Structure 1
Amino acid sequence: MTKPRLSRRRLLRGAVAGGAALAAGGLLGGCTARQDARRLATDDRWRQFAGTTLNFISENTAPTAAIAADLAPFTELTGIRVNIVTLELSALVQKVALDLASGQAQYQVIYADPYQVLAPYSKGLVDLRELAADPTLPGEVADFADFVPVQLDATGRFGTEDKVFALPYDSPTMIWQYRADLFDKHHDRMAADLGFDPTPGDDTTWEQYLAIARWFNDNTDDVRYGTGHQAKQHDSLMCDFSNVLWAHGGDYFANGFEVGRIGAVEPGRCLLAEDRAIEAAAFYQRLLSVADPASRTWDWDGLGAAFRAGRIAMCPNWHEYAANNEAVLPGRVGYARLPRGPRRSANIFGGTGIGISANTLPNERGAAWLFVNWATARDVQLRNLQSEAGGGTPTRTSVYELPEVRAAEQRPSAMPNMLTAGAVRQAWKPENAGLRPKIPMWNECDTAIYTQLSRMLVGDATPEEAMRETAERIDRITARGWVAAG
Structure 2
Amino acid sequence: MPPRPTTICPPEAITWDWSGQANAFRQGRAGVAIGWGEFFPWFEESANSQISGKVAVAPCPQAIALRPESECGFGEVPGVSRQGGSSLALSRYSKNRDAAWVFLQWLTSADTMTRAALLSKTNSVRRSTYSDPRLKIGFGANPQVANYFEVTLDAIENRMGTEPHHSNWIEVGFDRFPMELGKLMTNQQSIRTTLNNMAQAAARATETL
Letter in 2 for 1:302: G
Aligned with 2:100: secondary structure?
helix
Shift of 1:449: 0.4
Q: Shift of the alpha carbon at 1:425?
A: 1.9
TM-score under structure 2 length normalisation: 0.78
Higher helix share: 2
Kindly report which structure 2 residues correspond to 1:345-424, keeping only aligned pairs within 5 A, or say none.
Answer: 346-360=80-94, 364-387=96-119, 390=120, 392-407=122-137, 409-411=140-142, 416=145, 419-424=147-152
Question: Cα offset for 1:354?
Answer: 1.2
Q: Which residue in 2 is equivalent to 1:261? A: none
Pair 1:339-2:61 in alignment: yes
Quick one: distance in 2 between partners of 1:420 and 1:412? Answer: 9
Deviation at 1:386, TM superposition (A): 2.5
Q: Quote the offset at 1:357 in angstroms.
A: 2.3
Q: Corresponding residue for 2:176? A: 448
Pair 1:434 & 2:164 matched: no
Distance 1:391-1:441 versus aligned 2 partners, 3 A rule: farther
C-alpha contact 1:441 1:478 (8 A) present in aligned 2: yes
Report the AA paired with residue 37 of structure 2. H
- Are residues 312 and 449 of structure 1, via their aligned partners in 2, closer, same or farther at CA, if it must alter by over 3 Å? same
Partner of 1:314: 32
- In the alignment, which of 153, 163, 166 is matched to residue 425 of structure 1? 153
Q: Distance in 2 between matches of 1:307 and 1:426?
A: 23
Which aligned pairs between 1:17-416 and structure 2 lie closer than 5 A? 290-327=8-45, 328=49, 329-343=51-65, 346-360=80-94, 364-387=96-119, 390=120, 392-407=122-137, 409-411=140-142, 416=145
Aligned mates of 1:386, 1:422 — CA distance in 2: 15
What is the letter of the counterpart of residue 379 of structure 1? D
> Aligned partners of 1:468, 1:323: CA distance in 2, in Å?
39
- Counterpart residue type for residue 291 of structure 1: C
Cα separation, 2, equivalents of 1:427 and 1:287: 32
1:466 and 2:194 are equivalent in the alignment:
yes
Pair 366,286 (structure 1): closer, same or farther in 2 beyond 3 Å: farther
The amino acid across from 2:26 in the alignment is R
- Taking only the aligned residue pairs, the percentage that are identical comes to 23
2:82 and 2:99 map into 1 onto residues whose CA distance is: 34
Alpha-carbon contact 2:81-2:160 (below 8 Å) kept: yes
8 Å contact from structure 1 (residues 322, 419) kept in 2: no
SS in 2 for 1:339: coil
Equivalent residue, structure 1, for 2:69: none
Contact kept? 1:348, 1:433, Cα under 8 Å? yes
Kindly state the Cα deviation for residue 300 of structure 1 after the two structures are TM-superposed.
1.1
Deviations 1:363-393 (A, max 9, x none): x333222122111111111221222xx4652
Q: Deviations over 1:149-173 (max 9, x none)?
A: xxxxxxxxxxxxxxxxxxxxxxxxx
Q: Distance in 2 between matches of 1:338 and 1:293?
A: 26
CA distance in 2, matches of 1:298, 1:335: 21
CA contact (8 A) 2:41 2:121 kept: no
Aligned partners of 1:457 and 1:340: how far apart in 2?
A: 24
Query: Is residue 2:169 matched to residue 1:476?
Result: no
Length-normalised TM-score, structure 1: 0.36
Q: Which ranges of structure 2 fall in alignment gaps of 5 or more residues?
A: 67-78
Question: Do the aligned partners of 1:374 and 1:380 also contact (CA within 8 Å) in 2?
Answer: yes
Runs of 4+ in structure 1 off by over 6 angstroms are: none
1:466–1:368: structure 2 CA closer, same or farther, 3 Å change rule?
same
**Residues 458 and 299 from structure 1, CA distance in 2 versus in 1: closer, same or farther, beyond 3 angstroms?**
same
Shift of 1:460: 2.1
Cα distance in 2, alignment partners of residues 378 and 335 from structure 1: 25
* Aligned residues of 2:24 and 2:30 also touching (Cα < 8 A): yes
Count of aligned positions: 190
Q: Which structure's CA Rg is the greater one?
A: 1
Whether the 8 Å CA contact 2:40–2:122 is kept in 1: the answer is: no
Cα RMSD over matched residues?
Answer: 2.6
Cα distance in 2 for residues equivalent to 1:380 and 1:313: 35
Q: In the alignment, what sits opposite 1:225?
A: none
